[in-house]
Amino acid sequence: MPLDPQAKKLLQQLAEMELPPLSTLEALQARELVAKLRGKELRPQAVGRVENRTLLNIPVRIYTPEGSTPLPVLVYFHGGGWVLGNLDAADNICRSLANGAGCIVVSVDYRLAPEHKFPAAVEDAYAVTNWVAKNAATLHGDSTRIAVGGDSAGGNLAAAVALMARDQGEPSLVYQLLIYPVTQYGFETKSYHEYGQGGFGLTKEEMVWFWHHYLADAADGQNPYASPLLANTLTKLPPACIITAECDVLRDEAEAYAARLQSAGVSVQQHRYDGMIHTFVGMGAVLDRGKQALADIAAELRIALAT
């Protein structure tokens, strides 16, 4: 299927700006460029309560919707290739999920690479998730309904936290929401060859750049907490919702992870959005399919987290 017309127009507008490829920049330069480009929602969705806090020396933003408590809790990790992104980057997604799914969302500002290499981000993500599970009542949350989620590199962290929680024996998670997640250190899938260059947004060169910053050594890419697809077994993991975009280099590894989860007996809801590009779920302001996908995800999350 060809690119969605709205996605094509967006990519054309970005091309006309003649921006330097991220892969040619230092990490700080890339962060400055992305910060300038990030458009702010004119009217961000109102949520019952939004609070910035620090848990275990890690900044978080807690979104609590209106509703009777205790509420289920989603611990969310933003995207950005482990190098870019912050709490603001995931703000519109977190607001939508809090309201649409009727759950508390704890967005985590984990440590970024290259200043903090793997496994720093995973350790932060797991630490906050474990804290939330043990202290859910203080957030007006339900400790028996804790989920993890994230987009892109954040989806990678959510998958890694689910693996780590299983391996460590805590916390008990009921769901994992993986939005076009990175699942393997490697660049040779069909989707990489089809969409790794040629103006589809996220490029192969950028993913190489992200991984280079994230890993201290290429051997770390074989660690299942960096590459969940390489885990020996995916049994005894929580049910998953996996979202992919057709025109995305990460499509095939995300769908391969969904297939492996299903083969391991894990319940999986997988949805591919045709004609869409990487990061589309967070672009509801300009992409109708992104807005619809976010509503779809929230509806599934609400069902999954129901008592």
**pTM of the model as a whole:** 0.97
Listing DSSP states for 149-214 in one string gives: EEETHHHHHHHHHHHHHHHHT-S---EEEEES----S---SHHHHHHSSSSSSS-HHHHHHHHHHH
E strand intervals along 25-97: 49-55, 58-64, 71-77
Range of the domain at 113: 5-305
Say if strands 240-247 and 175-179 run parallel, antiparallel, or are unpaired.
Answer: parallel
CA-based R_g, the chain, Å: 18
Q: What CATH number has the domain bearing residue 32?
A: 3.40.50.1820
E strand intervals along the chain: 49-55, 58-64, 71-77, 104-108, 141-151, 175-179, 240-247, 268-277
Enzyme catalytic residues: 152, 248, 278
- Per the structure, the count of domains in the chain is 1
**Full pLDDT tens readout for the chain, 307 residues:** 789 999 999 999 999 999 999 999 999 999 999 988 876 555 789 999 999 999 999 999 999 999 888 999 999 999 999 999 999 999 999 999 999 999 999 999 999 999 999 999 999 999 999 999 999 999 999 999 999 999 999 999 999 999 999 999 999 999 999 999 999 999 999 999 999 998 999 999 999 999 999 999 999 999 999 999 999 999 999 999 999 999 999 999 999 999 999 999 999 999 999 999 999 999 999 999 999 999 999 999 999 999 6
- What is the model's pLDDT at position 307? 66
- What is the model's pLDDT at position 296? 97
| List of residues 6+ apart from 217 with CB closer than 8 A | none
* The dihedral formed by the CA atoms of 81, 297, 273 and 227, expressed in degrees to the nearest 10: 40
